[in-house]
């Protein structure tokens, strides 16, 4: 039991930290890190505003007619509102870089969203009258739950980094790297403050010297220096990102099915998959037929074949069409589930079917009881996962997440063995 607990904790940590790092830093999934417009460059500046270096940077940007993007810390914006106002009035874009310069891996989801991002956005809005919609987490590190922030913020990383927070890199090295790596659509990461963890206090001075020389050498090439909100994003880039996300996700799905021993009810119609396990919920589930599923009862846990679900979603003309296909396939599988209950020794003491799903409309007609999930961390994590799944497989996933968010609540769906037997007759 102790080993299983340790493995569960390790899996949670990997999902919360390592998986988002792979998706964002290796594949660029869910984040914006490069534009596609001809001759466009976006210079971005983190960790400010700084009372010494930010005014010097603004003078330099004004001299060369460059519009930049500043990802500021809420605590510093609070301490230096005059600099925030100046950045805004001079036509630069302001984004959020958390309230404190702290890694999102070391914070709980609500701490990042409410205490770091929303608090900082509120401070900036109170100064400029404009609420930020762009967000860059410290060190470019996000946790799994930060994907929920994408409803309100675009998460921005970078394509060019010169380690300008270190003094020993020096002006010449910074300049050389910038000139070699800058391309059309580049998002350049720089820092106008050196007082965060791991940075040198005098490093921004070297950055300013290097940047002035870079501006002098790039200008004849007619690059356009634009804010993040002015960078062109190609629709093909968006499609490529989703394709990569699908590949990574399906790889994860295959691993999950194998490790958890999830098996399809029918090899020819794999929509419904089952896993024999014990019900671990603290609260008993009271079903409409009077039966109860209590902690420790053996159940057949319901899972959907997400690979098939994705294919159905991609070929469905609408959400209604997709829902009809799911209901029809489920109805066809019910007699086979009964056959398993009657003939398979592994199912002899299974009390019923149990699952959690956003796609629960119409399940009552099939005999299922539909119940709310108890509030808490599990409910929050489940909602995040299922919303992500809906985005992946639904024909209008992204739009549906925006327009129907109040309806996207995961529910418990369960049906007793007795109800199954009374409703469906197994075919010989």
What average pLDDT does the segment 293-309 reach?
88
- Are residues 195 and 273 part of one domain? no
DSSP state letter for 374: P
- Are residues 224 and 213 part of one domain? yes
- Are residues 253 and 152 part of one domain? no
The band of 281, judged by pLDDT with boundaries at 50, 70 and 90, is confident
On whether residue 286 sits in a domain, the answer given is yes
List Cα–Cα distances, 40 to 67, 186, 293, in angstroms. Answer: 12, 7, 60
Structural domain total, the chain: 2
Q: Which of the residue ranges 28-37, 58-67, 180-189, 247-256 would you say has the lowest mean pLDDT?
A: 247-256
What string of DSSP letters covers 340-364?
HHHH-GGGTT--EEEEEES--TTTG
- Residues acting as catalytic residues: 46, 191
Q: What whole-number distance in Å separates Cα of residue 193 and Cα of residue 237?
A: 32
pLDDT of residue 404: 47
The band of 300, judged by pLDDT with boundaries at 50, 70 and 90, is very high
On whether residue 154 sits in a domain, the answer given is yes
For the chain, the residue count is 428
Q: Read off the pLDDT of residues 204-259 as tens digits, 9 standing for 90 and up.
A: 999 999 999 999 888 666 788 999 999 977 655 555 666 666 677 677 777 878 88
- Are residues 342 and 273 part of one domain? yes
- Are residues 127 and 208 part of one domain? yes
On whether residue 9 sits in a domain, the answer given is no
The boundaries of the domain holding residue 334 are: 236-423
Q: Read off the pLDDT of residues 62-97 as tens digits, 9 standing for 90 and up.
A: 999 999 999 999 999 999 999 999 999 999 999 999
Q: What whole-number distance in Å separates Cα of residue 264 and Cα of residue 300?
A: 12
pLDDT of residue 12: 74
Query: Contact, 310 vs 290, CB < 8 A?
Result: no
| Entry pTM | 0.61
- Are residues 215 and 320 part of one domain? no
- Are residues 170 and 158 part of one domain? yes
- Are residues 367 and 278 part of one domain? yes
Residue, of 282 and 154, whose pLDDT is higher: 154
Examine the fold and report which residue of 183, 203, 233 is the final residue of a domain before the chain moves on: 233
Query: Comparing C-alpha atoms, which of 2, 40, 27, 7 is closest to residue 229?
Result: 40
List Cα–Cα distances, 12 to 9, 62, 145, 301, 411, in angstroms. Answer: 5, 47, 12, 20, 22
Query: Contact, 64 vs 215, CB < 8 A?
Result: yes
pLDDT of residue 11: 73
pLDDT of residue 304: 83
- Are residues 241 and 193 part of one domain? no
pLDDT of residue 344: 92
pLDDT of residue 221: 65
What average pLDDT does the segment 93-108 reach?
93
The band of 38, judged by pLDDT with boundaries at 50, 70 and 90, is confident
> What is the percentage of the chain residues whose pLDDT exceeds 90?
48
The band of 169, judged by pLDDT with boundaries at 50, 70 and 90, is very high
pLDDT of residue 402: 46
Arithmetic mean of pLDDT over the chain:
84
Residue, of 115 and 239, whose pLDDT is higher: 115
- How much helix, strand and coil, in percent to the nearest 5, is found in the chain? 50, 15, 30
Q: Read off the pLDDT of residues 371-428 as tens digits, 9 standing for 90 and up.
A: 988 777 666 676 666 666 666 555 444 544 444 444 457 788 999 999 998 888 644 4
Query: Comparing C-alpha atoms, which of 347, 366, 342 is closest to residue 426?
Result: 342
Examine the fold and report which residue of 204, 233, 262 is the final residue of a domain before the chain moves on: 233
Tell me, what CATH number does 106's domain have?
3.20.20.370
On whether residue 205 sits in a domain, the answer given is yes
- Are residues 402 and 263 part of one domain? yes
On whether residue 377 sits in a domain, the answer given is yes
On whether residue 264 sits in a domain, the answer given is yes
Q: What whole-number distance in Å separates Cα of residue 166 and Cα of residue 126?
A: 33
On whether residue 15 sits in a domain, the answer given is no
What average pLDDT does the segment 31-45 reach?
89
Examine the fold and report which residue of 170, 203, 233 is the final residue of a domain before the chain moves on: 233
The band of 362, judged by pLDDT with boundaries at 50, 70 and 90, is confident
Q: Read off the pLDDT of residues 320-348 as tens digits, 9 standing for 90 and up.
A: 667 777 778 888 888 899 999 999 999 99
The band of 7, judged by pLDDT with boundaries at 50, 70 and 90, is low
| Torsion region of 345: left, alpha or beta (phi above 0 gives left; psi -120 to 50 gives alpha) | alpha
- Are residues 283 and 417 part of one domain? yes
pLDDT of residue 43: 97
pLDDT of residue 90: 96
- Are residues 188 and 152 part of one domain? yes
Scan for tokens 């870079």, then name that residue: 214
Scan for tokens 């770091």, then name that residue: 116
Token pair listed for 31: 């984040």
Preceding peptide of 102 cis, ω within 30°: no
Query: Contact, 73 vs 101, CB < 8 A?
Result: yes
On whether residue 225 sits in a domain, the answer given is yes
- CA 197 to chain centroid, in Å, comes to 26
pLDDT of residue 392: 56
């Amino acid at each position: 039991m102790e080993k299983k607990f340790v493995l569960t904790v390790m899996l949670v940590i990997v999902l919360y930290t390592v998986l988002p790092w792979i998706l964002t830093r290796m594949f660029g999934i869910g984040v914006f890190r490069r534009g596609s417009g001809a001759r466009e460059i976006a210079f971005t500046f983190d960790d400010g505003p700084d009372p010494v270096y930010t005014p010097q940077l603004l003078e330099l940007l004004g001299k060369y007619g460059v519009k930049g993007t500043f990802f500021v810390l809420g605590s510093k914006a609070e301490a230096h509102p005059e600099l925030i106002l100046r950045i805004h009035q001079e036509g630069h874009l302001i984004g959020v870089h958390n309230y404190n310069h702290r890694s999102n891996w070391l914070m709980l989801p609500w701490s990042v969203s409410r205490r770091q991002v929303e608090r900082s956005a509120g401070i900036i809005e109170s100064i400029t009258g404009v609420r930020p919609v762009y967000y860059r987490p410290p060190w470019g590190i996000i946790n799994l739950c930060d994907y929920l922030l994408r409803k309100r913020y675009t998460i921005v990383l970078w394509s060019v980094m010169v380690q300008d927070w270190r003094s020993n890199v020096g002006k010449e090295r910074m300049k050389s790297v910038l000139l070699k790596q800058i391309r059309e659509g580049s998002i350049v990461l720089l820092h106008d403050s050196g007082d965060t963890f791991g940075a040198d206090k005098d490093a921004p001075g070297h950055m300013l010297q290097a940047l002035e020389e870079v501006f002098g050498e790039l200008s004849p090439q007619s690059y356009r220096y634009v804010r993040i909100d002015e960078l062109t994003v190609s629709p093909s880039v968006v499609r490529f990102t989703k394709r990569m996300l699908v590949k990574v996700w399906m790889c994860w799905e295959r691993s999950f099915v194998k490790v958890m021993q999830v098996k399809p009810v029918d090899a020819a119609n794999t929509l419904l998959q089952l896993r024999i396990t014990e019900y671990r919920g603290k609260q008993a589930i009271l079903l409409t037929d009077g039966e109860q599923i209590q902690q420790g009862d053996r159940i057949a846990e319901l899972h959907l074949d997400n690979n098939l679900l994705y294919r159905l979603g991609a070929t469905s003309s609408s959400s209604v069409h997709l829902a009809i296909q799911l209901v029809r396939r489920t109805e066809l599988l019910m007699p086979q589930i009964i056959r398993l209950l009657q003939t398979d020794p592994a199912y002899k003491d299974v009390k019923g079917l149990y699952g959690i799903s956003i796609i629960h409309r119409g399940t009552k007609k099939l005999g299922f009881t539909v119940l709310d999930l108890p509030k808490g961390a599990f409910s929050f994590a489940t909602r995040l996962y299922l919303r992500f799944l809906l985005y992946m497989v639904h024909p209008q996933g992204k739009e549906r997440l925006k327009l129907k968010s109040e309806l996207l609540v995961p529910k418990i769906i369960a049906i007793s063995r007795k109800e199954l037997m009374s409703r469906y007759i197994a075919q010989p």
